[in-house]
């Protein structure tokens, strides 16, 4: 149900995908929502979008059930985010 609301909100407003993800990040409550936001962010090319994409791996790790999957998602997110911080150390939003 929440995904439908997000989809309608996405289509009805002219806000960017990054703004939508930025506002919805603290409200993500399931693995499906995290994957939905990851799909939205895959098409974006900015460094902030890549940082939010990496943070979605942390959200997936929060909601996945198996410990190894939690670890793998956390590791993917950490590696990607560390690389972005290293490349863009002046960008406050990424740090």
CA 83 distance to own-chain centroid: 16
pTM of the predicted model as reported, rounded to 2 decimal places:
0.80
**Radius of gyration for the alpha carbons in the chain, expressed in angstroms and rounded:** 14
**14, pLDDT greater than 80:** no
Assess contact for 45 and 53: CB atoms under 8 A. Answer: no
pLDDT of residue 63: 96
**13, pLDDT greater than 70:** no
């Amino acid at each position: 149900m929440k995904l439908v609301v997000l989809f309608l909100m996405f289509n009805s407003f002219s806000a960017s995908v990054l703004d939508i993800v930025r506002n919805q990040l603290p409200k993500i409550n399931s693995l499906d929502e995290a994957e939905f936001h990851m799909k939205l962010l895959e098409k974006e090319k900015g460094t902030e979008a890549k940082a939010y994409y990496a943070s979605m791996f942390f959200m997936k790790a929060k909601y996945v059930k198996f410990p190894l999957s939690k670890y793998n998602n956390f590791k993917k997110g950490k590696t990607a985010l560390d690389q972005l911080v290293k490349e863009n150390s002046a960008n406050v939003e990424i740090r």
